[in-house]
Structure formats: C-alpha cells, structure tokens
Amino acid sequence: MKLLNKSLIYLSVSLFFIIGVWSVVFYFNLLSEIKESVDEGLDNYKRQIVATAHKDPSVLDKNNFDDGFFVIREITQNEAFAIRDTYLDTSVMMQDADDDKPELEPVRMLITAFENNGQYYELRIINSMVEEDDLVEELFAEALILYFVLMTLIILINNLVLKRLWQPFYTFLNQLKSYRIGKSFPQVNTKTQEFNDLQKAVTILLQHNVETFEQQKQFIGNASHELQTPLAIATNKLELLIEKGNLKPEEAENIAEVMHIVERLVRLNKSLLLLTKIENQQFLDNQTVSFNEVVKQNVNDLEEIAEYKNVKITVSEKAELTAQMDISLANVVVSNLLRNAIFHNLENGVVNVEISENAIVISNTGINAPINQQKLFSRFHKTQNDSNGTGLGLAIVKAVCDLYEFPITYRYQDGLHIFEWNIK
Amino acid sequence: MKILIVEDEKALLETLVASLTKEHFVIETASDFRSASEKMALYDYDCILLDIMLPHGSGLELLQQLKQDGKTANVIIISAKDSLDDKLKGLEWGADDYLTKPFHIAELNARIKAVIRRNKLDGKNTIEMTNMVLDLTERTFFVNQQNVPLNRKEFDILNYFMLNKNRLVTKTALAEHVWGDNTDQADNYDFIYYQIKNLRKKLNEAQAEIEIEAVYGIGYKLIET
C-alpha cells in the first residue's frame, strides 16, 4: 500500500473518532448553555410578573397555560416557604405555529413562590426549549458533513502537497531501480534533509559495493594473468619431454594425463579471463556483424566434431541478420551455443539453427528433461556427462548477452532444448 | 636465423631456448629491459620474441625503440595479458604478431616461421619438402608436380605439420590452430584422428615422401621418409 493511502487511512480513522467525541461534548455544552440562557429569561419573567401582580391583581387569576406562559396558584405561607426556586425540564401540551394540533412540547419550567399583599402564591413559568432529538439529529448531520468536507480537503492536500514533497523520493527510487554497477549513482535534487540523508547513505553503500565488485574483478583478472606464465611453462616443458621420446608406454600415459589436466587448467583460466574481460567491457570493438556469416563460419569449424559425434547440424536462414557488435564476442556466443548443442546431444541427434530477422534459435536433441534455466547460465554449473568442461561456457554467453542487452532464453519444448538469442 | 628471446621468467626462457634450438635457430636471450635494449641496439636479429611485462620497463617501449633505430627484425609479442589494447598498440607500433601465454610450442614455431616467411622479399610463398610443394597463396598442394586436392582443414593441418617438421604437434595445439581458439567446451579431440586418417590416405595415394606419425596418443609428428 502506498504511503499516501496509508496516511489517509490513519487520518480518516482518527478524525472519525475526534469528530465523534467532539460532537458529543459540543452537544452537552450547547445544551447547558441554552438552558442557562433560558433560565435567565425565566427569572426576568418572574420579576416582571411579580411586579405586574402588584399593580394588576387580575393576573393572579391565571391558572392554566392555555393563553399564556405562566400559572399562578394561591398557597399557604408554609407551602410558600417550602418552595425554593427550581428549574426543571418537562413537557406541556401546546400548539406551536408549525403544529396542526396541540402536542407535548419540551419546556423549561421555573417553579417559584411570591407574596402579594400578605397573600402567598406559587408561580410556574414556562419557556419552550429546543427539542433534544432535533438537536441531536442536526448535530449528527453537521458532524458528518464536517467529517466528509475535512476528508475531501485532506485527500486533496495530501495528493497535492505530499505528492510534491515525496516527488524527490520517487525519482530517487526509480533511479535506484534502474541502477547497474558502472552507471552513475542515483541523485536526488531536494532540500529535504531526510532525502539528502538517504542519498548519502545509499551512495556510501553503492560505493562500497562498487569497490568490492571492482576488487573482486581485479582479483580474478590478476590471478588469471599470473597463472598464464606458469601454465605456459608447464605446457611447454611437458611438450618438450614428450618430444624427447624414449618413454615407456606407462610413462607416456602419465605425462599425457598431466598434460590433459594442464590443458583443462588452461581452458579454465582462459575462460575466466574472457569473463573478466567481458565484464570489464574491454572488447566493444563494435562493427556491423552479419550473424548469418558468423553462424556459417562456426558451423563449418565444428563440422568434423559434429560428424564425429554423429550429430547433424542444419541451418535455415529466414532472413539476413546484422547488428552492431564485437565480432569476436559474436563468435564466442555462437560457437559456445553450438558446441553446447553438439556436446550435450544424443547419438544420431540433431542441431537446428534458425536465423530470423531478429533472433538466432538453436535447438538440439538431448536428455529428456528440461534444465533449470537459473542454474543453466550460472558459473561452474555442470551436467553429469560433462566432467571435462569448465562449466563457464554458458556463463560467458550470458555475460556477453547482458553486456549488449541482447536477451537469451532457454526452453524445453517437444523434446528439444531451445536457446533463443534475441538480437536488437 | 638469429632469434632474440626477451622473457623475464627463467623457466619459460629455458624451454623456449630448448625448443627453438631444435629448429636450428641461433638463439640469444635477455631477461630484463636493459639487457634487451642493449642487445637490440647492438645486433640485428631475424626475429625477436618480446614479453611485454619486464623488470625495469615495458616490452612495448623496446618495440618503439627498435623501430626508431630503423631495425627490420620481425617481432612477435608474447604476453600473459590477452588485452586488446596491448595487442592493437603492439601491432600498430610494428609488431608482426601477438601470442598470448600459454601457447603450444608448435604454435610458436608456426608463428615464427610465418613471420619470417612473410617478410622475406623473394615473393615466393610456398613451403617445399621432399617431393611436395605447399602453395600458401593459392592454397594448393602438389606432390611430384601433381595437384592433390585438399579441403580447407586438411590444407591447414598439413601446413601446420610442415611448419613443425619433426616436432610434436599435440592434438590440442592442432585443434586450436585449425578449429579455432574457442577453448571452453570439453573438447574431446578424438575427432582429429579421423581427419588425420583421411589426410594420411591422400598423402599415401599421392606417394608423398612424408609420414604423419602418432606420438604416444598425445599428438603427431611429421617426418620425412
């Protein structure tokens, strides 16, 4: 989930509760405020009525609420003394302007007592009150509206402001995603301290990685170079020894074995050097390469080997395929793929090479099961019948393909192992 | 033929001397920059084998110096570094060939003879042996003045053997020379046997006075009969 949406969820949930609680508190405050003000009004009325009663005793006869908002009842002195000024919420049957018949309306009532010319009276004054359920309904609606307005605004602000604030982060992230060793480090262009810190941290991490990678590459390169001279000495000394002759058959056999081992070392070393060179991009003498020619040349070179292995190679050229590439690397890829197809084949097997407008597809018969594509291209991956190989052939192929961004894929289909090399 | 070998690794130097002596070359050696520079300035050689990485200096500098002195010796660079840069620079500065370590003795022989032949100005590009002539320009082969047709690889094999007369040619060296230097796959060089068999048959039928002998199952040797 995006950060933006996540923060929105937190905001909406907390806002919901905040506004909910606030509405309840607001409701009770409002209600008590209203009552206070109504009570004050009732108190004023009381003093007015008491004053009026002095001048005009007829008001003392008002004993129901039908045509007024107060009633007066005569009481004894004792009763009068027992009465304290009390305000209470009650309801009275009355007809409002908006009602068609009288109904119970919530009112605020003041019960009090007063003395007029030695006579004691009880006075009840009412004032209509807000209807509480109306108030609750109204408040609830208002709170909901407030909530939605707030949320809409927050979403808008979030989208505009936060997106703008996070923009450098996303740019940085995209650069980081497409980063490959050897390219320039991702840059962030912002004054936001956190993003600048992030960039610093990432840069340090990448620098460290690049250094390690370079060191490793250099080590393999140097080690392989240093091995070249000793291997040359071993090869040449053994050749001279054999040439000298006078060897017993078992001596010759032993020497031959050692020679094979040295040759294997030489092959391994050369392959490692080649890999290092490809990764260091030391080739790249790019020119227009005709892959039809490259394929034909390599098929021609491998003819005798295929014949010896009883493998039939067929080439079908559907189009002329050319691309910008280092010719020796093009040869390495095609040769390695062809050799791979010939050596991991069956007796009387076939190798088909198809050249189309933008791909070379090499398919061959072989063991009756697909090979794990991940392992296939990894270094030193060997199948069982390949104890003499370096296990670097397809790794070299992959390295070249990665370098030129010409993807190579493997699949097993209808009993054929198929390598498809897309060029361009 | 006078050859100077400039190589700082003593053991390799020894084997090179031992091998090239068999070809009846006159050999001189230098194992560091100064002595090499001195010898190259004082004497003339037909061919110089030059290592690039030397104590006190680079073989490429020696090459420049040699060309500045106007010497015409053929130079073959022998380097542990199979670097395109060095190769291009070396060839640009007048080296005749570039050989990466490790190499087979047969390959070195072939390269030395090829550069010496290339720079001889008699215009003839043939190898003659007993009753045979191999024409490298026309890529034709004659035994007793009779043309013997050979396919491309048979021609290359025979050429390689003739450059290495009486010398061991291992199957690996032959495979790399004729079938290309793509060394990664587990090459089983048994297929070479069939190629040699075919070639022997053609040589026999044409009554060529040479023989390709097997050597301990490791390689072959061309000898005159």
Contact predicate A308/B194, CB 8 Å: yes
pLDDT digits (tens, 9 = 90+) for A380-394: 777 655 556 677 888
Per-residue pLDDT, B122: 61
Per-residue pLDDT, A249: 84
Task: Tell me, yes or no, whether A13 and A124 share the same domain.
Answer: yes
Per-residue pLDDT, A97: 65
Task: Tell me, yes or no, whether A272 and A318 share the same domain.
Answer: no
* Measured distance CA(B44)–CA(B26) in Å, rounded: 12
- Model confidence at B37, pLDDT cuts 50, 70, 90, reads very high
**Mean predicted lDDT score pLDDT of chain A:** 87
Task: Tell me, yes or no, whether A300 and A416 share the same domain.
Answer: yes
B191 touches chain A (CB under 8 A): yes
Q: Do B9 and A308 touch (CB under 8 A)?
A: no
- Minimum-distance CB partner of B191 among A308, A336, A390: A308
* Measured distance CA(A190)–CA(A401) in Å, rounded: 37
Beta-strand relationship, B219-224 and A86-94: unpaired
* Measured distance CA(B110)–CA(A229) in Å, rounded: 20
For A406, the token pair is 């010409």
Per-residue pLDDT, A389: 66
pLDDT digits (tens, 9 = 90+) for A167-183: 888 899 999 998 877 77
Task: Tell me, yes or no, whether A119 and A22 share the same domain.
Answer: yes
* Measured distance CA(A364)–CA(B25) in Å, rounded: 50
- Asked if residue A67 has pLDDT above 70, the reply is no
Q: Do B12 and A332 touch (CB under 8 A)?
A: no
pLDDT digits (tens, 9 = 90+) for A125-137: 988 887 778 888 8
Q: How far is A202 from chain B (nearest CA, A)?
A: 34
Residue A230 maps to a domain: yes
Task: Tell me, yes or no, whether A18 and A138 share the same domain.
Answer: yes
CA max distance for chain A: 160
Task: Tell me, yes or no, whether A98 and A8 share the same domain.
Answer: yes
Q: How far is A178 from chain B (nearest CA, A)?
A: 30
Task: Tell me, yes or no, whether A25 and A135 share the same domain.
Answer: yes
- Asked if residue B201 has pLDDT above 90, the reply is yes
Q: How many CB atoms lie within 10 A of CB A26?
A: 14
ipTM of the complex model: 0.85
Counted domains in chain A: 3
Lowest mean pLDDT among A46-55, A277-286, B21-30: A277-286
Q: Do B184 and A393 touch (CB under 8 A)?
A: yes
Q: What value does the mean pLDDT take over residues A231-256?
A: 89
User: Is the previous residue joined to B102 through a cis bond, with omega within 30 degrees of 0?
Assistant: yes
- Asked if residue B186 has pLDDT above 60, the reply is no
Pick the CATH number of B2-119 from 3.50.30.30, 1.20.1600.10, 3.40.50.2300, 3.50.30.60: 3.40.50.2300
Per-residue pLDDT, B185: 55
Domain CATH for A226: 1.10.287
Residues 6+ apart with CB under 8 A from A345: A309, A311, A351, A364, A365, A366
- Model confidence at A5, pLDDT cuts 50, 70, 90, reads confident
pLDDT digits (tens, 9 = 90+) for B50-100: 998 888 888 889 999 998 888 888 999 998 876 667 777 888 888 899 998
Query: Do B2-119 and B126-224 have matching folds?
Result: no
B121 touches chain A (CB under 8 A): no
Task: Tell me, yes or no, whether A337 and A220 share the same domain.
Answer: no
Which residues of chain B neighbour A281 with C-beta distances below 8 Å? none
Q: How far is A392 from chain B (nearest CA, A)?
A: 7
Domain of residue A237, residue span: 193-279
Domain CATH for A394: 3.30.565.10
Task: Tell me, yes or no, whether A252 and A337 share the same domain.
Answer: no
- Minimum-distance CB partner of A392 among B172, B184, B190: B184
Nearest to A395 by CA among A262, A210, A220: A220
Pick the CATH number of B126-224 from 1.10.10.10, 3.20.20.70, 2.40.50.500, 3.40.109.10: 1.10.10.10
Beta-strand relationship, B140-143 and B146-147: antiparallel
Q: What value does the mean pLDDT take over residues A366-395?
A: 77
- Asked if residue B116 has pLDDT above 90, the reply is no
Residue A343 maps to a domain: yes
* Measured distance CA(A198)–CA(A211) in Å, rounded: 20
pLDDT digits (tens, 9 = 90+) for A275-308: 888 877 766 678 999 999 999 999 988 888 888 8
Query: Which A residues, 371 through 400, put their C-beta within 8 Å of a C-beta on chain B?
Result: 386-390, 392-393, 396
Domain boundaries along the sequence of chain B:
2-119, 126-224
| H helical segments located in A187-248 | 193-244
pLDDT digits (tens, 9 = 90+) for A312-332: 999 999 999 999 998 888 999
Q: What value does the mean pLDDT take over residues B156-160?
A: 93
Cα Rg of chain B, angstroms: 19
**Mean predicted lDDT score pLDDT of chain B:** 88
A237 touches chain B (CB under 8 A): yes
pLDDT exceeding 70 applies to what percent of chain A? 96
- Model confidence at A246, pLDDT cuts 50, 70, 90, reads confident
Task: Kindly list the distances between the CA atom of residue B170 and the CA atoms of A50, A139, A187, B175, in Å, as whole numbers in the listed order.
Answer: 138, 101, 57, 9
Task: Tell me, yes or no, whether A397 and A307 share the same domain.
Answer: yes
Q: Is A2 helix (H, G, I), strand (E, B) or coil?
A: coil
Which residues of chain B neighbour A345 with C-beta distances below 8 Å? none
Task: Tell me, yes or no, whether A309 and A417 share the same domain.
Answer: yes
A256 touches chain B (CB under 8 A): yes
Per-residue pLDDT, A349: 93
Task: Kindly list the distances between the CA atom of residue A282 and the CA atoms of A222, A274, B95, in Å, as whole numbers in the listed order.
Answer: 15, 10, 21
Q: In what order do the strands lie in the sheet with B26-30?
A: B26-30, B2-6, B47-51, B74-79, B97-100
Q: Do A256 and B182 touch (CB under 8 A)?
A: no
Q: Is A381 helix (H, G, I), strand (E, B) or coil?
A: coil
Q: What value does the mean pLDDT take over residues B138-156?
A: 91
Contact predicate A297/A331, CB 8 Å: yes
Per-residue pLDDT, B3: 94
- Asked if residue B124 has pLDDT above 80, the reply is no
Per-residue pLDDT, A384: 57
Residue A167 maps to a domain: no
